[in-house]
Chains A and B, each alone.
Chain A
Amino acid sequence: MSDLLSLTAVEARAELDKRSFSAVELTQAYLDAAAATADLNAYVLVTGDHALEMAAKSDEKIADGTAGILEGVPIGVKDLFCTKGFASTACSEILKGFIPTYESTVTANLWSAGGVMVGKLNCDEFAMGSANETSAFGPVINPWQAADRLDLVPGGSSGGSAAAVAARSALMATGTDTGGSIRQPAAFCGVVGMKPTYGRCSRWGVVAFASSLDQAGPFTRNVADNALMMQAMASHDPKDSTSSQEALQNLTAALTAGVKGLKIGVPKEYVMDGMDTDVFTLWEQAQTWLTDAGAELVEVSLPHTKYALPAYYIIAPAEASSNLARYDGVRYGLRVEADSLDAMYEETRGAGFGEEVQRRIMIGTYVLSAGYYDAYYLKAQRVRRLIKDDFDTVFQTVDALITPATPTAAFAVGRKIDDPVTNFLNDVFTVPANLAGLPGISVPGGVNADGLPLGLQILGRAFDEATLYRVASVIEAAAGFCQTPQRMAGAVT
């Protein structure tokens, strides 16, 4: 069965069409893999019977020649997406037991393309975190280990998604990215993660964190699979007023287009104190790979980069405090009974939200409160414009940017940090793209001295995902990243 697990989605699709094995067999292999790697805590719900039913339908479609582009492909879903008839909790106590009566647009798109749902994946509570340690279901363990064999975090917030794809308990997985929640865990787990342009994927049916920043995107083991999944996920959706009508480019053609003639910028501000030297070395190596493949590399400047994180930590909590007002113990989820309506709200929210979520709601409430709105919220929105202007300026002369995805490799679970700000620094290279609404992809580029994966990030113009896939394919080929994690389904340990 481990042979089935080693196939990419593109390969599995071809074999399914040749009837080398059935979708039911493939799905069963992934269900077994999810059980075998259960100690990673990547899944919060495995939907085995449903998966096998979906797979049986896929086999019928393959037999009658009506297979979709993801027909029979086993997919894990971040628990931030609403799935009809299956608990969708955002990994929060306040939503435990919530079973949606509707399906998110993104997952509906995946199922209509033939995808098979394996289950729901762990994440940080309401996607607020960078290590998957704020989940009400407990932390996810990264399938990768250094020589000391300590448990490492998978990154976050889409930690379960990245870990499942790396551990081969899902062939693909959905994620969401508000400040780096796809790209950072992809880098930590050695997989490919794409945050498309804001508006590319519908936000309908996705639990909202910060609505002007949230975007859904794909996790896969390689770049070609990622382009395939992106094609199935993206759509214009009248149910999301910010969903774009911009047509998706031909992403398959992009995979083999190469980078000859492309101008690729290297932003000089993407260095920081505490950055691993291995990360810096890989970044330089990537520039050589791209030059060798025919791209022209140029140094560029994004002068407001250092202000992206503080601006983000005003805007995202402000939007979160507003979005999370809906968890009131009245319509769904947890209710803690009390004598008055106000007391019921306060008791429910005090008991249902974890510490990090409470902290962010309170920051958001403060920066939006009378007397502070201008000084914090409007100030952050003005800085946001300057950050976007920086990108607009460089994209007049370059086609894409190459940067590290994260300043370090994965760190240990339970690393004690008294200062919440230190945790925020994980997102230093990923947050600017969210503020500017631009697409970004994280691709494994190699391993550090401890043998842990490191990611490279490519950023591009709005609605130009194709160029990202062009560059990512060249990096993937040059890097030849073939290491696999120690705690992978089927691995001999």
Chain B
Amino acid sequence: MSVDKTTVAKIARLARIKVPEERLDPLARELNGILDWIAELDEVNTDHVAPLANVTGHALRMRDDEVTDGNYVDDVLVNAPEAASGFYAVPKVVE
């Protein structure tokens, strides 16, 4: 499997990263270098092997469904690039 310029543009779009046109070809080369190397995994027989996501084997703990945190709007907004009336402000989304 290898990626071309069009695919790189599509991935960049999915990742919400603006990539200048002239970077698309070099990025395709770099990503293909990594993907070719990763393909080494195809040598490994993984039939009947379950995927491993949790190394500790511990189940995630449950806690009581109660509010334990919150109520500090100012703290939450203090680092926002733009805030208004106690909310984050973003460019207009609805026409």
Contact = CB atoms under 8 A, between A and B. Distances in A.
Interface string A44-57: 00000000000000
Q: Main secondary structure on chain B at its contact with chain A?
A: loop
B54 interface: yes
A102 B42 CA distance: 44
A260 interface: no
A488 interface: no
Contact of B17 (A244, A339, A350): A350
A304 B41 CA distance: 10
Contacts of A306: 40
B50 A242 contact: no
Contacts of B41: 307, 310-311, 314, 379-380, 383
B78 interface: yes
Interface residues of A, number: 73
Interface string A453-478: 00000000010000000000000000
Nearest to A463: B56
Contacts, number: 162
A480 interface: no
B80 A421 contact: no
A277 B8 CA distance: 41
Contacts of A199: 56, 58
Given A101-B75, A101-B78, A313 B91 contact: no
> Which of the listed residues B34, B37, B58 has the most CB atoms from chain A within 10 Å of its own CB?
B34
A198 B18 contact: no
A365 B53 contact: no
Interface string B23-60: 00001001101110111111110100111111110101
Nearest to B49: A382
A369 B63 contact: no
A310 B90 contact: no
A346 B80 contact: no
A327 B52 CA distance: 28
Interface in B4-23: 7-8, 11-19
B61 to A, nearest CB: 7
Interface stretch (A72-80, A118-126, A330-338): A330-338
A321 B31 CA distance: 15
B82 interface: yes
B55 A198 contact: yes
Max count, chain A CB within 10 A of own CB: residue among B14, B43, B44, B46: B44
A241 B54 CA distance: 12
Nearest to A321: B15
A310 B37 contact: yes
Contacts of A311: 41
B91 A344 contact: yes
Contact of A437 (B44, B50, B55): B55
Nearest to A335: B81
B18 A363 contact: no
Contact of A331 (B30, B49, B72, B80): B80
A365 B88 contact: no
B15 A330 contact: no
A337 B16 CA distance: 14
A346 B20 CA distance: 11
A358 interface: yes
A331 B88 contact: yes
B56 A198 contact: yes
Contacts of B46: 379, 382-383, 386
13 contacts: A102-B75, A198-B55, A329-B81, A331-B88, A332-B79, A333-B81, A347-B18, A358-B19, A365-B11, A379-B46, A382-B52, A383-B46, A420-B33
Interface of B: 1, 3, 7-8, 11-19, 27, 30-31, 33-35, 37-44, 46, 49-56, 58, 60-61, 63, 72, 75, 78-82, 88, 90-91, 93
